[in-house]
Chain A
Amino acid sequence: MQRLRVRYAKRGRLRFTSHRDISRAVERAVRRAGIPVAYSAGFSPHPKISYAGAAPTGVASEAEYLEIGVTTPCDPEQVRFGLDESLPPGLDVLDVVEAGPGGLADRLEVSDWEVRLPGADRELAEVAAEKFLAAGTVEVERLTKKGMRRFDAREAVLGLTVSEGTDRTAAQVHGQPCVILRMVVRHMTPAVRPDDVLTGLRLVADFAPPVPPEVTRLAQGPLDARTGALADPLDLDRDNTRGGEAGPASEHVAG
C-alpha cells in the first residue's frame, strides 16, 4: 500500500474548524477527488487517513500534516491538485509526497507559531518576553479534557521574539497595527500551546492583550541540530523517493 504525506493549511475563517470537522471534510474530499483511498477491514470500514497533531480550533496553520493510504499508486502532484480542488477554499493542500521510511509524527518535533495581538503594547510585550525567557520555569494552568492541569510552559519555548505589523483579519482593507510574537515551541506532553505561553506572559509580567489573539502555526518539523532551524519534515521523504531512483535510500537519508 502506497502512503501519501500531505501538508495542508487552514486559513482565514476556516481556522474555526475543529479536528473532527477537518477529518470529515478530508474524507469527503478524498471521495470527491476519486483518490483510491484504502479502507480498514470490518463492519464499519474507515478510510485510512491519519493526522499528526492538529492545531486547535480557532488557530490557523500553514503546516498541518496527514497521511493517506491508497490502494493503487498515485502521482503525488495529481493528488495535491485533486484534493485541493475538492476541499473548500481555506483548507488548502500545499504539498504531497510519497511516504518514505520512518514515521511522520516523530519528525514533528517543534512548531513555529505566529501570534498577532491587535491593540497590544509593544514595549510591554518585549518586557514580558524577556522576563519569560529569563525565568527558569513558568507554571501555568489550563482546563483540559481531563480537568485542570498545571505544567511548566517555559521549558518547551526555544525562542520568543517580538515585532510589529498589521493585523490581517478578514475583509478589512487596512489592518490595524499590532504586536506580533513569534514562538518556537518544542512538542512535549502535556503540549505547550501559544495560549499557554500567553498565560505565562501574563503571570510573569501582567501582560494581557486586549482582544483575542490571532494565532497561526507557520511551520512544524524537525529541528536541525547544527543550524537550529526548522526543517521541512517532508524533505526526508523527498530525498528518499529521489534516492530510490538514484541509489540506496539509506545513503541519502544519512547524508
Chain B
Amino acid sequence: MPVESIFHRLEALLPKVQKPIQYVGGELNSTVKDWDSADVRWALMYPDAYEVGLPNQGVAILYEILNELPATLAERTYAVWPDLEALMRAEGVPQFTVDAHRPVRAFDVLGVSFSTELGYTNLLTALDLAGIPLEAVRRGEDDPIVIAGGHAAFNPEPIADFIDAAVLGDGEQISIAITEVIREWKAEGRPGGRDELLMRLAESGGVYVPKFYDVDYHPDGRIKRVAPNRAEVPWRVHKHTVMDLDEWPYPKKPLVPLAETVHERFSVEIFRGCTRGCRFCQAGMITRPVRERSITTIGAMVENGVKESGFNEVGLLSLSSADHSEIGDIAKGLADRYEGTNTSLSLPSTRVDAFNIDLANEFSRNGRRSGLTFAPEGGSERMRKVINKMVTEEDLIRTVTTAYSQGWRQVKLYFMCGLPTETDEDVLGIADLAKKVIKAGREATGSRDIRCTVSIGGFVPKPHTPFQWAGQADHETVDRRLKALRDALRGDKEYGRAIGYRYHDGKPSIVEGLLSRGDRRVGAVIRAVWEDGGRFDGWSEHFSYERWMAAAEKAGVDVDWYTTREREENEVLPWDHLDAGLDREWLWQDWQEAISGGEVEDCRWTPCYDCGVCPTMGTEIQIGPTGRKLLPLTVV
C-alpha cells in the first residue's frame, strides 16, 4: 500500500511559519524513491533544527548508503520549530520526512543521530507528533523501531525508555546489517513480531536493546548490576569501527540545501579517531584508533563534491585535522588546484604549533588572514598536564607571535572552566596568558592592531573518558571563576581593550552533565521537561535551567548526585556494559595519572600504551604517509 504524502496538509500551514523552506525538501542530490520499490524503509532524524541538522555528515552518509541499497529507502526528518509544532498539533499533521513528506510512523526504522544530549527533548516531540508512543514498551507492530546513534549513544541510558535500540560507533556497516536483518524478518512474515526483531538485532552483540537489560540498584542509589534478562543476549554490546575509510568515500552526492544552514560547505572527513589523549575529550576516546583517508581519496572526494554541489567552500574535517600524516601535501595540493577559482578551503584545527600556521597560510593563500584559533584548553601549565594537553606557555606565545608576524590580526584561544582539580588561580592564569600573548604580539609586529579573543566553555565529564569518575564543578564555582576572569581581563588598562572575552554561564553544563552521565532514572526528568514545554535545549533562547531543575525535583532525581559527585573506582557506571573498547583499568589509571599530572603520548608516534581498543575491537592504526601527491586538475 503506498503511503500518501502529507504535503498538501503541511502546505496550508507553511505560509504561517518562520522559514518555511526548511520543511519542503527538494534539495539537490536528495532522493525520493517509490514507496513500494522498497521493503525496508528508514527515516533518519537529526533532532535539531534543519539548519543544524542538514549539514550533519553522519545522517548524510547513512542516507546515501541506505538509498544505494536495493529495495531500501531512506528519508530525512528534522525537529520542527515550536511555531510549526503548534500548527501541526492543531491540524493533526504528523511528523514527516522532508524528502517525500511521508509520515514518520509509516517507516520500519526511525534512526536518530545524537551528536549531543541536548537533542533528547526534541526526540520526544518528534515521536509524539509522529503518533509513536513515547515509551518503547508501549509500541506496537505498526510502530517503527527507534534506533539511536551518534556520540551520545555511547551512554543512551537516560533515553533508554524512549528508544528501542542504540548503536555505538561508525554507522556505515551496521546500518546495512540492520537493514538485512529487518528485510529477512519481514520476508519471513514478521515471526514473533517486534520483540523477535529486536531480539535478532540484540543477539549479534552489535545493537543495544535496553529492554533486554535489567538494572538493579543499591539502596544508596548506586547501580548494583546491569544484566541481560534473556539468555541469548550478550553481557556487553560493542562499538563499530569502519576500517579502510577509502572504501567508504561518502558523501558522494552531497545534499545542497535551499535554506541557509550553519555549514555552507562541502566537508570531507580526512580521518577518524584521535589518539592525542586529551582526557576530557569523549570524541577522541570513543573513536579510536586513528584511521586516515589517503591523500588521493581526499583529492578525489573534494573534486567530486565540489562538482556535485557547487559549494565554494571545502572543509577538511576530523578531530584534529593538522595531524593527518600528509596534511602538508594535501593543503598544498588543494590550494594549487583551486587557486583562482574562488573556492576557499578551511581546516578546523586548533593545534598550537608553527606547522599549524603554515597550513593556515596555505589555505588563506588567496584570501584574507583574518582569524586563527588555538586551543590550549587549560589556563595554567599544571592544568594542561591534568588534561593531557601538552602545550607549554612558551609554545603558545611563540606560536601566537608567529601568527601575528605573518599577518594574522586576530587570534582566538579556547579554554575550559571547571576542570578536575582546577583552582581559581588556574582560571586567572588565562588572563595572564592572554596579556602575554598581546604583549609579545605587539613587540613582534610593532603594531597595536592585533587582537586576541578568549573563549571559554564549561567542562562536562563524559562517559568513556578518564574523567568519567570526576565530580563536575557546580555552576556557582564556574560562574565565580568566569566572572573573576572577566574582571581580570577587562580591568587591565594596558591590554584589556585588545582582549575579547566570550563565555556562557555554568548552568547549561549542569544539565548536560546530568544527561551525559545519567542512568535510566534520568529519563523521567527528560520526559517531565518535555511535558512542561522543553524543546531545543541546545539553543539558549529555548533552554531553561529552572525547568530542568523543577522537573528533576518532581521526578525525585538529585542532580548533584549525578553531576558534582565524584565516583569511586568500583562503582558500576551506567554505561559499563557498553563497550567502546577502552580498558576500564587503563581509564582509571589515566584518571589517577591526571590527578598527579602524568602525561600520555600519542600512540601514532610512540609505542602502543594498551588503552585496550585495538585488541578488543580487532582494529589497528591506519596512517600514511602514502608518498603520493595531488595532481593538478585539468578542468576548471
Contacts and interface: CB of A to CB of B under 8 A. Distances in A.
Interface of A: 13-14, 16-18, 20-21, 24-25, 27-32, 34, 39, 43-45, 47, 57-58, 86-90, 169-172, 211-212
B8 A32 contact: no
Can you list the 5 inter-chain pairs with the closest CB atoms, starting with the nearest? Answer: A28-B310, A32-B310, A13-B24, A170-B8, A16-B20
B628 interface: no
Q: Which of B25, B26, B310 counts the most A-chain CB atoms under 10 A from its CB? A: B310
Contacts of A57: 20-21
A89 B7 contact: no
B26 A14 contact: yes
B25 A13 contact: yes
A47 B343 CA distance: 12
A20 B5 contact: no
B323 to A, nearest CB: 30
11 contacts: A14-B24, A16-B23, A18-B21, A24-B258, A25-B256, A27-B312, A43-B367, A45-B342, A57-B21, A88-B258, A169-B11
Contact of A28 (B16, B256, B368): B256
Contacts of B16: 212
B7 A24 contact: no
A90 B27 CA distance: 10
A20 B260 contact: yes
Contact of B14 (A31, A32, A58): A58
Given A16-B14, A58-B15, 14 more contacts: A13-B11, A13-B25, A16-B20, A16-B24, A21-B260, A24-B258, A24-B260, A31-B310, A32-B307, A32-B308, A32-B309, A57-B21, A88-B26, A88-B28
A20 B368 CA distance: 24
B311 A28 contact: yes
A15 to B, nearest CB: 9
B12 interface: yes
A29 B258 contact: no
A18 B14 CA distance: 13
Nearest to A46: B342
B264 interface: yes
A11 to B, nearest CB: 10
Contacts of B12: 211-212
Contacts of A169: 8, 11
Interface in B256-284: 256, 258-260, 264
Nearest to A33: B310
A136 B4 CA distance: 49
Nearest to B98: A13
Contact of A25 (B8, B20, B258): B258
A30 B312 CA distance: 11
A13 B7 contact: yes
Contacts of B27: 88
A18 B257 CA distance: 13
Nearest to B261: A24
A44 B344 CA distance: 10
B446 to A, nearest CB: 23
B7 A170 contact: yes
Contacts of B342: 39, 45, 47
A170 B5 contact: yes
A89 B26 contact: yes
Contact of A27 (B11, B26, B308, B310): B310
B621 to A, nearest CB: 38
Contacts of A31: 306, 310, 312
B607 to A, nearest CB: 47
A14 B28 CA distance: 12
A32 B309 CA distance: 7
Contacts of B259: 21
Interface size class of B (residues with CB under 8 A): 20 to 34
B271 to A, nearest CB: 27
Interface in B284-339: 306-312
B84 to A, nearest CB: 12
A47 B341 CA distance: 11
Contact of A44 (B14, B24, B308, B368): B368
Contacts of A16: 14, 20-21, 23-24
B258 A171 contact: no
Interface in B15-60: 15-16, 19-21, 23-28
A169 B12 CA distance: 9
A29 B310 contact: yes
B16 to A, nearest CB: 7
Contacts of A28: 28, 256, 309-312
A253 B16 CA distance: 45
Contacts of B260: 20-21, 24
Interface centre among B12, B24, B258 (most CB of A within 10 A): B258
Given A20-B260, A24-B264, A58-B14, A171 B7 contact: yes
Interface string B188-215: 0000000000000000000000000000
Contact of B20 (A39, A58, A211): A58
Nearest to A22: B258
Contacts of B264: 24
A27 B27 CA distance: 15
Contacts of A13: 7, 11, 24-26
A171 B8 contact: yes
A172 B5 CA distance: 9
B9 to A, nearest CB: 9
A211 B12 CA distance: 7
Nearest to A39: B342
Contacts of A21: 21, 258-260
Nearest to A25: B258
A54 to B, nearest CB: 14
Contacts of A17: 21, 258
Given A17-B21, A43-B368, A170 B26 contact: no
Contacts of A24: 258, 260, 264
A45 B367 CA distance: 9
A68 to B, nearest CB: 14
Contacts of A211: 12
A28 B256 CA distance: 9
A224 B4 CA distance: 47
A34 B12 CA distance: 38
Contacts of A45: 342
Chain B CB within 10 Å, residue with most, of A24, A44, A87, A172: A24
A13 B15 CA distance: 11
A87 B26 CA distance: 10
